[in-house]
Amino acid sequence: MISITVNGTRHDLEVPPDMPLLWVIRDELGMTGTKFGCGVAQCGCCTVHVDGKATRSCVMPVSAASGKQIHTIESLSNDNSHPIQRAWVAEQVPQCGYCQSGQIMAAAALLKRVAGEPSDAEISNAMTNICRCGTYDRIRSAIHRAARQA
Amino acid sequence: MIDRAGFMRASAGFGAGLILAFELPGCAKDADTARNVKEFVPNAWVRIAPDGTVTVVLSKSEMGQGVVMGLATIVAEELDAAIEHVRTEFAPAEPVYGDPGFGGDMVTGGSTSVSHSWSTLRKAGATARAMLVAAAAQQWKVDATSCTTRQSVIYHATSQRQASYGSVAEAAAGVPVPQSVPLKTTAQFSLIGKPRQRTDVPPKVNGTCQYGIDVRVPGMVYAAIARSPVFGGRVKHYDARNAKKISGVLQTVEVSNGVAVVAKNTWAAFQGRDALEIVWNEGQNATVSTDSLFAEAEHLARGRIGERLAASRGNPEAVSGTVIDAMYRGPFLAHATMEPMNATADVRDGRCTVWAPTQVQLRARALASKASGLPPEQCTIHTTFLGGGFGRRLEADYVQEAVEVSKAIGGPVKVMWSREDDTQHDFYRPMSVNTVRGVVAGGAIVALTHQVVSPSWLRRWFPAGMKNGVDVLDVLEVIDAPYAIPNFRATYIDHEHGIPVGSWRAPDANWNGFVTESFMDELAHAARADPLAFRLAHMEKSPRAAAVLRLAAEKAGWGQNQAGVAQGLAVTAWAGSFGAMVVDVSIEKKLPKVHRVVSAVDCGTVINPDIVVQQAQGATNFGLSAALTGKITLSKGRVEQSNFYDYTVLRLADAPAIEVHVVPSNETPTGIGEICTPPIAPAVGNALFALTGKRVRTLPFSDALV
Ligand code: FES
Ligand code: FES
């Protein structure tokens, strides 16, 4: 039995300890906002916050997540009111949208980490998630916008 | 226009579409709107409920290109509907939703979603509007022509009466369907041409948008399939003992292309699949490598073996001048959609139900029928949102697999592909060897020959696309390049081999555009001319292409580059549209660093200007990603790349700032999803030449600059 706390709710689960957090969230808890793209910490689709830090959940064994606060895209807001979500809508970032849960969670962690508006270099360093639709220009603009509005 | 019988057949599928909404979590909103009410259904494309909700049925899949907003806007425009009351749903796999432009097949591809839907959806909206107006006019006992409509309300000015669409919806169902209806003039458009936020964006910023991977049906299990590492190989025998020891693994089943491991969750399925011990009968591709295939292609090219004529004018051999010869080589490329392939199938009790992110619903249904043994009418395809398509989902191989597994286990299953599966079992952008020869005299091109050696994917996918042995797509950006050249010949050699190839964003043009536009630069330099002026001098018969090129050059400040940064340009035509770009490039870490892209596009009438800009930006980055490092190679019949660490793609740090200028136009709308993919690679290559004096003729650039 492993217990994890996701978006403030505790779950006791019968899962192997080495099962990646991603698959626990998606298949066991049925929360599908967090996506699978590579399984090897390359693409960032699976990004969640573990104790506030952007973490690629596809390579984090569920046992390592036990006792930590895990937050997924579903926790940002009930009504798209989080400054990042508002900026993402204002800049019309998503195309297919598949990478965007991960992009948004990575951006939210970045804005929590840096004081004020991040520089372009800070954004380039922090935002290593892949978007195959190529929405990068708008991701950058949306992060600047969110930082100014937050 | 769809007749009533046609729409009745189609509406059998509407009910099925609603079941999807009920079964999926996160679709509570859809479930709420799936009321048990009598809707006015004037045709297969639009329904109007008594509460005024307008439902637009989309026969095109949403893979990021914005059809949810774009197609709904077209219907709403002619219907005069309040756009806030318009919702959309994806059409079932029914012939009534077939695209006449694809011979009645349901296809989302070729940048045709708007152009092929334009007149059908306008008529559908206008017909619905005419019937609503007729119903109100009958009730008011006035002439329908004296009524006006705005924002889902019908007005009769002289009697000062008004009625909402919802209030007359039921009555409108009794009105005869008009045979012809007037359409708006461009000046009357109130929605088309205006920027409007996409309705599919809110669910894409909070994780509620439902992709194929997100489908969950009661009792569903998960499966992963071990496929032959060599293309065309078959299972000889296998041992599943270790796989079955993995916690969560339920059973293994052999399917036509390998062995499936069925499990309680995706992770266990992947683990179990990796633990299978399989001996393969590798078949005839076991010794194939990319080196052997390129050697074969060059042999065909030099010997002109199996060469077919695609187009010819004048006599290229009879003219003299400065002769330039070159050979260009393009690699295989994977699609690498962000959402790996997957499908969920439930074959039970004489029915086959499939949920899939697909660009080809009828093909998916045909394969589901074949794999389940049930007639197509008993197979239902629910289209989910697509986490990218780029042409990969014009194949329904992953649907067939899921149906096979479901049939074998007798219940619902989601077959999930890992990134490795996705990279190694694609239908690749075909490799290509292009041989070009140009003759320049008096500052102009007097002759050009262009031979394409590339495997045809249309031969398998759409045989009617083969004309006299020439794949009509394989010579795009060759025979239709926007330049008038008096002596010209284009030829094609179908390099048939056993490696699966398919459509890849701006199919074939994405490579031929690189050759044509790089070679135009070579010829310009041979003529000692400015690449912009040289191109324009040959473009008198292509005014729209010339206009986008001029616009991009003007906005970018062509000829005013900064030290250490070189400019390059390119222009292409695709799917009736025109795109040109100027790039600023320097070299960093042995790769071209693209700082800025200034592009101009002409795609006729614009439905939603911001979606045009999004697509131009996305298509540019897609092409740039491939040009910089994209390459699939084979050794011993196996793909050597497996995941994003060895099939590397563009990330934010390397993505350029992309400025897009849209040419205002009242022409019929044409495609925007692909037009900016072909020109980026040659623009970068041309800038590199300006910077280094080195001409890159083999992609990716990462191979050229080491
Ligand atoms: S799925 Fe975790 S980083 Fe790609
Ligand atoms: S929006 Fe499609 S992958 Fe990023």
By Cβ distance, the residue of A73, A96, A136 closest to B338 is A96
For residues B187 and B111, give the distance between their C-alpha atoms in angstroms, rounded to a whole number. Answer: 26
How remote is the CA of residue A38 from the centroid of ligand 1, in Å? 5
- Ligand nearest to C-alpha A39: 1
Residue B254 token pair:
């052999």
Best of B62, B209, B267 to substitute, by most chain A Cβ atoms within 10 angstroms, is B267
Question: What pLDDT, on the 0 to 100 scale, is given for residue B575?
Answer: 86
Provide the 8-state DSSP code for B498.
S
ipTM of the assembly? 0.98
- Residues B196-220, mean pLDDT to the nearest whole number: 97
Size of interface A-B (CB pairs under 8 A): 187
Q: Closest Cα to residue B518, out of B677, B310, B689?
A: B689
Predicted confidence (pLDDT) at residue A41 exceeds the cutoff of 50: yes
A94/B388 Cβ within 8 A: no
Query: Rounded distance, CA A147 to CA A140, Å?
Result: 11
- Residue A98: predicted pLDDT: 98
* Cβ distance of A97 and B655 shorter than 8 Å: no
Domain boundaries, chain B: 4-206, 212-283+341-416, 290-332+427-704
B618 with A123: Cβ contact below 8 A: no
Q: What's the token pair of residue B212?
A: 């194929």
For residue B318, pLDDT over 70 is answered with: yes
| Residue of B204, B211, B338 to mutate, ligand 2, most atoms within 8 A of C-beta | B338
- The class (CATH top level) of B290-332+427-704 is alpha beta
Task: Tell me, in angstroms, the distance from the centre of ligand 2 to residue A105's CA.
Answer: 14
CATH number of A2-75: 3.10.20.30
Architecture of the domain delimited by B212-283+341-416: 2-Layer Sandwich (3.30)
Q: Which of B258, B260, B256, B279 is nearest to B268 (CA)?
A: B260
Q: What pairing do the DSSP bridges indicate for beta strands B46-48 and B40-43? A: antiparallel
Q: Which ligand is nearest to the CA of A36?
A: 1
**According to the model, what pLDDT value does residue B12 have?**
34
Answer left, alpha or beta for residue B696, where phi above 0 means left and psi between -120 and 50 means alpha. beta
Examine the pLDDT at B8 and tell me if it is beyond 50. no
B interface mutation test: which of A40, A42, A92, A96 has the most B CBs within 10 A? A96
User: Does the CB of A39 have a partner CB in chain B at under 8 Å?
Assistant: yes
Q: What is the CA radius of gyration of chain A?
A: 15
The candidate with the shortest Cα–Cα distance to B621, out of B595, B593, B656, is B656
Across B220-230, average pLDDT: 98
| B113, B205, B650, best to mutate vs chain A, most A CBs in 10 Å | B205
Helix (H, G, I), strand (E, B) or coil at B356: strand
For ligand 1, whether the C-beta of A130 sits within 6 Å is: no
Task: Determine if ligand 1 sits within 6 Å of the CB of residue A24.
Answer: no
Within 6 Å (CB) of ligand 2, which residues are found?
A 94-100, 131-133, 135; B 64, 338, 388
Residue with tokens 């310009």: B524
- Judge: B206–A85 Cβ closer than 8 Å, yes or no: yes
Residues spanned by CATH 3.10.20.30 within chain A?
2-75
Q: Would you state the pLDDT for residue B589?
A: 87
> Would you state the pLDDT for residue B231?
96
**What residue ranges in chain A does DSSP mark as E strands?**
2-6, 9-13, 47-50, 53-56, 69-71
Per-state percent for chain B, helix, strand, coil, to nearest 5: 35, 25, 35
- Selecting from 3.40.50.10440, 1.10.10.60, 1.10.1660.10, 1.10.150.120, what CATH number does the domain A83-149 have? 1.10.150.120
- Is pLDDT above 50 for B504? yes
Question: What percentage of residues in chain B have a pLDDT greater than 70?
Answer: 95
- The closest residue, in CA terms, to atom 3 on ligand 1 is A41
B159 pLDDT above the threshold of 90? yes
Q: pLDDT digits over B20-50, tens only?
A: 222 222 333 343 344 456 899 999 999 999 9
* pLDDT tens sequence across B569-597: 999 998 899 999 999 999 998 899 999 99
Q: pLDDT of B406-455, one tens digit each?
A: 999 999 999 999 999 999 999 999 999 999 999 999 999 999 999 999 99
Smallest CA–CA distance, residue A35 to chain B, in Å, is 8
Neighbours of A11 (CB within 10 A): 15
Q: What is the pLDDT of residues B242-281, one digit of tens each?
A: 999 999 999 999 999 999 999 999 999 999 999 999 999 9
Residue of A nearest to B416 (CA): A36
Chain A 55-114, residues with CB within 8 Å of chain B CB atoms = 72-74, 76-77, 80, 85, 88-89, 92-101, 104
Answer yes or no: do B618 and A34 touch at CB < 8 A.
no
Contact B387 A97 (CB under 8 A): yes
Ligand 1 pocket: which of A21, A24, A46, A98 to mutate (most atoms within 8 A of CB): A46
pLDDT tens readout for residues A66-116 = 999 999 999 999 899 999 999 999 999 999 999 999 999 999 999 999 989
> Range(s) for CATH 1.10.150.120 in chain A?
83-149
Query: Hey, is the C-beta of A125 within 8 angstroms of any chain B C-beta?
Result: yes
Give the pair of three-digit tokens for residue A121: 């270099």
Distance CA(A20)–CA(A36), nearest Å, equals 11
Task: Please report the pLDDT score of residue B706 as a whole number.
Answer: 59
Which residues does chain A have within 8 Å of residue B622's beta carbon, measured at their own beta carbons?
132-134
Options 3.40.50.2000, 3.40.50.300, 1.20.1630.10, 3.30.365.10; which CATH number does B4-206 get? Answer: 3.30.365.10
pLDDT in tens, B83-107: 999 999 999 999 999 999 999 999 9
Q: Tell me which of B32-46, B53-67, B332-346, B450-464 is least confident.
A: B32-46
pLDDT-based confidence at residue A150 (cuts at 50, 70, 90): confident
**B4-206 and B290-332+427-704 in the same fold:** yes
Is the Cβ pair A96, B266 closer than 8 Å? no
> Which ligand lies nearest to the CA atom of residue A56 in the structure?
1
